[in-house]
A and B are shown apart, each in its own frame.
Chain A
Amino acid sequence: DVVMTQTPPSLSVAIGQSVSISCKSSQSLVYSDGKTYLHWLLQSPGRSPKRLIYQVSNLGSGVPDRFSGTGSQKDFTLKISRVEAEDLGVYYCAQTTHFPRTFGGGTKLELK
């Protein structure tokens, strides 16, 4: 299975601060069609996960442009500019290039 390693496991931030979360995969996530199926999800407290970013850098529906995704091959980053209270929760990276699909261990974003 492709192992997805997220760092840090937790982050304590102030409102308005910018933060980055890293996700590294044990194999390249480039599929045979040339696309990279690396996604970012946010699970806010008491809610279902929500897709923020798909295929590395594409913003999900209704997601503010304070969120951005970059990376390639095996190394990916989610950046949140100007954190707001509604951004708190657990962030996951996930890959759908390989079977079985796998998730990172999560990064918990908390208020400082």
Chain B
Amino acid sequence: EDKVVQSPLSLVVHEGDTVTLNCSYEVTNFRSLLWYKQEKKAPTFLFMLTSSGIEKKSGRLSSILDKKELFSILNITATQTGDSAIYLCAVNQGAQKLVFGQGTRLTINP
């Protein structure tokens, strides 16, 4: 059975801390891995990763994929209260079908 597993499920840190969110996967067909941020309603796109070892960055967020070990990490440096959200990892199996992990609920305390 195809699955995507995220850890931790919940994380509470102080503003300014650096966090690392994990995503491991076991799927029959892998096209890409995506990260989304979900604050209140619709998830918003963060990154799409297709190649191993190439870091993608956007401001304080970065992500990297390891296709040999079948995992990805999402790093957030110098966290802010606005980073509080559920972070979702998903694997695209082709035909644009995404398999999602359970999400990591990140809470940043001031």
Are A and B part of the same complex?
no
